[in-house]
Structure 1
Amino acid sequence: MTVNDDSFTNWKHREEIAESMIPIIGKLHRERDVTVLLHSRSLVNKSVVSILKTHRFARQIAGEELSVTETLPFLRALTTLDLGPSQIDIGMLAATYRADDRGLSVDEFTAEAVAGATGADRIERREGRDVVLYGFGRIGRLVARLLIEKAGSGNGLRLRAIVVRGGGEQDIIKRASLLRRDSIHGQFQGTITVDEANSAIIANGNEIKVIYADDPSSVDYTAYGIKDAILIDNTGKWRDREGLSKHLRPGIDKVVLTAPGKGDVPNIVHGVNHDTVKPDEQILSCASCTTNAIVPPLKAMDDEYGVLRGHVETVHSFTNDQNLLDNYHKAERRGRSAPLNMVITETGAASAVAKALPDLTAKITGSSIRVPVPDVSIAILNLQLARETSREEVLDYLRNVSLTSPLKRQIDFTSAPDAVSSDFIGSRHASIVDAGATKVEGDNAILYLWYDNEFGYSCQVIRVVQYVSGVEYPTYPAPAV
């Protein structure tokens, strides 16, 4: 047998193992609200090849691929436990078990590592929380996809309604079509049908009412059986407390804005300051995509090195706020053709840092250039540190942050030498550190941070909604602090 034959045989064997993992992962998710992760990446509803590719990601930890033969025993061990709702990272289980020298069996070690999710300590299933989308644009449709994906056993977030302005004949059919197919993010993973008679879109069995309204104050959500819902305003039309309060109608308990909030509206970046949200807070903002991209790595660098000052330059994909061809726009440059020009514009991300990181004393400035790509942006974060360091030290630190810290869902890391923007379409992280582009000299560090300004940001929005709704379940093993 040749070496190539050996490689192919090994691949087929790993395919078979990954295939055996799928029903176990699905059953844990449906029946127990357990989400199986591998180094913070969900394995729920993933294909055989996706599971194998996610295992390959572990090369960034020890320089070698994590094998499914290594993680399968931990997955099987989970099925023997009386688990409550939780997120369990079998990649971290395998990594910590490898470093453990007590001689425990896989079953014994797993039971100990996830003890908080079993027995008297486990969280009981919570009643599902209703969610309403106000607006159905780029972010609204991606948030809808994520809500439908995470419906799981039906005990988490439930997308109950979408509120839009009437668009004329076949409006609901056209909106369903935009949810079904996306030129950047591809096909919706599942089935979508339209019930025109009842003004509803049925997505993977989830009935979503389409409500037509020109003003928030005209809607009574209880008339649609919606109660204590979280409303996600993705229009950006209202950004202060007074405007957003219009959404607090019968059936709505909280309002989450997918744009930077103004005035005293809290700007929340999940992973950094989400735990500061007061239980009785009814209105909050998820800040901007760029704020979400820079704040987690900025916090990580400040925690380890101290940051004295910084500047962020974001090279941002164009958005629907710009014109396809030159035309009138209230902003000075955004009226010029988006797909034909680089457009210098402003960003509020730097000033928003103070809201998310009030303990950061460093002055952060910022600017932005819109460029002719439809998605994925890059933030260049230029920092003066409180102490000198080296490129190798910074990269090792950020790699570990991306793998084992409480910020591992926000910060990703790539060492691919040929990485370009389109590689990060669909990334679920707030930003991705590009190791090859990182520059460090003495007390100066320049980080290049890729981010999917649509999908990665939408994932951050969902994390905030999960947290304030009480359906963000704990992760085991607990991340290193």
Structure 2
Amino acid sequence: MTVNEDSFTNWKTREEIAESMIPIVGKLHREHDVTVLLHSRSLVNKSVVSILKTHRFARQIAGEELSVTETLPFLQALTTLDLGPSQIDIGMLAATYKTDDRGLSVADFTAEAVAGATGANKIERREGRDVVLYGFGRIGRLVARLLIEKAGSGNGLRLRAIVVRGGGEADLVKRASLLRRDSIHGQFQGTITVDEATSTIVANGNTIKVIYANDPSEVDYTAYGIKDAILIDNTGKWRDREGLSKHLRPGIDKVVLTAPGKGDVPNIVHGVNHDTIKPDEQILSCASCTTNAIVPPLKAMDDEYGVLRGHVETVHSFTNDQNLLDNYHKADRRGRSAPLNMVITETGAASAVAKALPDLKAPITGSSIRVPVPDVSIAILSLRLGRETTRAEVLDYLRDVSLHSPLKRQIDFTTAPDAVSMDFVGSRHASIVDAGATKVDGDNAILYLWYDNEFGYSCQVIRVVQHVSGVEYPTFPVPTV
């Protein structure tokens, strides 16, 4: 057999194994509310090729490719356990098993590693929590996609309604079309039908009522059977407690803002300060996409090295707040054509750090340049550290954080030497450390952090909503860092 034939045979074998994993992953998700992960990446509803690519991606962060032959036994072991709702990372199971010297079988090791999700320890399924989207723009539609994707067994978050202003003839059809097809993020994964008579969109079996209103005061959500819902305001029209309180109407229990909050509204970055949310807090903010991108790595660096001061420069894709062609805008420069210019503008991300990381005493400054790309941005985080270090040490540390720490869902890591912005469209992490661009000189470090300012941020929003709704299930194995 030639080398080429051997490689192809190996590929077909791995394809067959990956194909056998799909029904196992699906059954665990539907019947037990278990989300199977591979190094923090969900394998639910993934294709054969996607599963193989996810295994191969481990090479970039762990130094070697992870094989489906290594992870399949752990997946099979899960099917023998009395599992409760949870997230289980088979990549981490395989990695930790390699370093375990007790001679346990895969089945025994797996049972021990996920013991917190089995038997008497498992949490019971909770009744689904209603969710309402107020606004249906870029972030609103991506959050809708994620909510529909995560509906799973139907016991988690349920997108019940979308509130928008009337847009004229065929409004519902046009909004459904924008959900179905996206120029950046591609086709919706599933089926969408529209019922104009009842003003509903049915997406993958989820019936979503479209409510037309010009102001929150016009809506009584209980009239639509909605109760104790979490409302996600993605319009940004109201950002303080007084304005956002308008949403606390019959049927709405909590309000989550997808923009930086003002005044005493808590700004939450999941993974960093989500555990500070008070149970009775009804109004909170998910801060900005840039704040979510810089705060997790900033916290990681402060924990290990101490941060004395810092500056963040964001090179940010253009947004709908800018003009397509030169026209009047209330801001000084945002009126100039977004697809044709680099536009210097302000960012509130640096000042928002204090709300998310109150223990960080270092002054952080920031500025931003909008550039002619439609999605994915990069934050250049320049830090003065509390002690001297080396580039190799920093990279080893951040790689380990991305793999093993409680921040592994927020911080990703890439060693790809040819990585460019489009490579990170669809990333579910808050930011991705670019190893090749990282610079360290004594006590000065410069981190280059890619982030999908649309989708990655939307994932952070969903994590916050899951947390406050009580359907944020524990992850196993438990991070060790």
TM-score class normalised by the smaller sequence? over 0.9
The CA deviation string for residues 292-350 of structure 1, in whole angstroms up to 9 with x for no partner, is: 00000000000000000000000000000000000000000000000000000000000
The CA deviation string for residues 383-440 of structure 1, in whole angstroms up to 9 with x for no partner, is: 0000000000000000010011000000000000000000000000000000010000
Equivalent residue, structure 1, for 2:423: 423
Indicate the SS of the match to 2:408: coil
- Is there any run of 5+ residues in structure 2 with no aligned partner, and where? none
Query: Aligned partners of 1:10, 1:260: CA distance in 2, in Å?
Result: 50
Indicate the SS of the match to 2:197: helix
Equivalent residue, structure 2, for 1:395: 395
Using the size of structure 2 for normalisation, the TM-score is 1.00
Query: Aligned partners of 2:156, 2:195: CA distance in 1, in Å?
Result: 24
Indicate the SS of the match to 1:198: coil
Query: Aligned partners of 1:338, 1:315: CA distance in 2, in Å?
Result: 13
The answer to whether structure 1 residue 267 and structure 2 residue 267 are counterparts is: yes
* CA 62–323 in structure 1, closer or farther in 2 if over 3 Å, else same: closer
Residues 25 and 44 in structure 2, CA contact (< 8 A), matched pair in contact too? yes
Query: Aligned partners of 2:57, 2:109: CA distance in 1, in Å?
Result: 24
The CA deviation string for residues 114-156 of structure 1, in whole angstroms up to 9 with x for no partner, is: 0000011100000000000000000000000000000000000
The answer to whether structure 1 residue 313 and structure 2 residue 292 are counterparts is: no
Indicate the SS of the match to 1:254: strand
Query: Aligned partners of 2:385, 2:101: CA distance in 1, in Å?
Result: 38
Query: Aligned partners of 1:254, 1:20: CA distance in 2, in Å?
Result: 41
Query: Aligned partners of 2:284, 2:104: CA distance in 1, in Å?
Result: 46
Shift of 1:358: 0.1
Query: Aligned partners of 1:455, 1:196: CA distance in 2, in Å?
Result: 29
Shift of 1:181: 0.2
Indicate the SS of the match to 1:321: coil
Residues 85 and 124 in structure 2, CA contact (< 8 A), matched pair in contact too? yes
Shift of 1:58: 1.7
Residues 61 and 414 in structure 2, CA contact (< 8 A), matched pair in contact too? no
Shift of 1:50: 0.5
Indicate the SS of the match to 1:380: strand
Query: Aligned partners of 2:108, 2:426: CA distance in 1, in Å?
Result: 37
Query: Aligned partners of 1:265, 1:150: CA distance in 2, in Å?
Result: 27
How much identity, in percent, do the aligned residues show? 92
The CA deviation string for residues 142-171 of structure 1, in whole angstroms up to 9 with x for no partner, is: 000000000000000000000000000000
Shift of 1:196: 0.5
* CA 478–138 in structure 1, closer or farther in 2 if over 3 Å, else same: same
Query: Aligned partners of 1:416, 1:378: CA distance in 2, in Å?
Result: 15
Query: Aligned partners of 1:402, 1:234: CA distance in 2, in Å?
Result: 29
Query: Aligned partners of 2:71, 2:141: CA distance in 1, in Å?
Result: 34
Shift of 1:61: 4.6
The CA deviation string for residues 190-239 of structure 1, in whole angstroms up to 9 with x for no partner, is: 00000110000000000000000000011000000000000000000000
The CA deviation string for residues 87-107 of structure 1, in whole angstroms up to 9 with x for no partner, is: 000000001111001111011
Query: Aligned partners of 2:410, 2:344: CA distance in 1, in Å?
Result: 27
Query: Aligned partners of 2:164, 2:206: CA distance in 1, in Å?
Result: 18
Indicate the SS of the match to 1:58: helix
Shift of 1:64: 1.7
Query: Aligned partners of 1:43, 1:400: CA distance in 2, in Å?
Result: 22
* CA 31–13 in structure 1, closer or farther in 2 if over 3 Å, else same: same
The CA deviation string for residues 241-293 of structure 1, in whole angstroms up to 9 with x for no partner, is: 00000000000000000000000000000000000000000000000000000
Shift of 1:468: 0.3
Residues 61 and 415 in structure 2, CA contact (< 8 A), matched pair in contact too? no
* CA 89–304 in structure 1, closer or farther in 2 if over 3 Å, else same: same
Query: Aligned partners of 2:336, 2:475: CA distance in 1, in Å?
Result: 47
Q: Indicate the larger mover: 175-184 or 49-58.
A: 49-58
Shift of 1:441: 0.2
Query: Aligned partners of 1:465, 1:172: CA distance in 2, in Å?
Result: 26
Indicate the SS of the match to 1:428: coil
Shift of 1:480: 1.4
Report the count of equivalent residues: 481
Shift of 1:77: 0.4
- Is there any run of 5+ residues in structure 1 with no aligned partner, and where? none
Query: Aligned partners of 2:444, 2:341: CA distance in 1, in Å?
Result: 31
Residues 289 and 453 in structure 2, CA contact (< 8 A), matched pair in contact too? yes
Shift of 1:53: 0.6
Query: Aligned partners of 2:402, 2:115: CA distance in 1, in Å?
Result: 24
Query: Aligned partners of 2:182, 2:118: CA distance in 1, in Å?
Result: 41
Using the size of structure 1 for normalisation, the TM-score is 1.00
Shift of 1:62: 4.1
Query: Aligned partners of 1:446, 1:246: CA distance in 2, in Å?
Result: 42
Shift of 1:60: 3.2
Residues 60 and 416 in structure 2, CA contact (< 8 A), matched pair in contact too? no
Indicate the SS of the match to 1:412: strand
Query: Aligned partners of 1:69, 1:450: CA distance in 2, in Å?
Result: 32
Indicate the SS of the match to 1:26: helix
Shift of 1:63: 2.1
Query: Aligned partners of 1:13, 1:64: CA distance in 2, in Å?
Result: 19
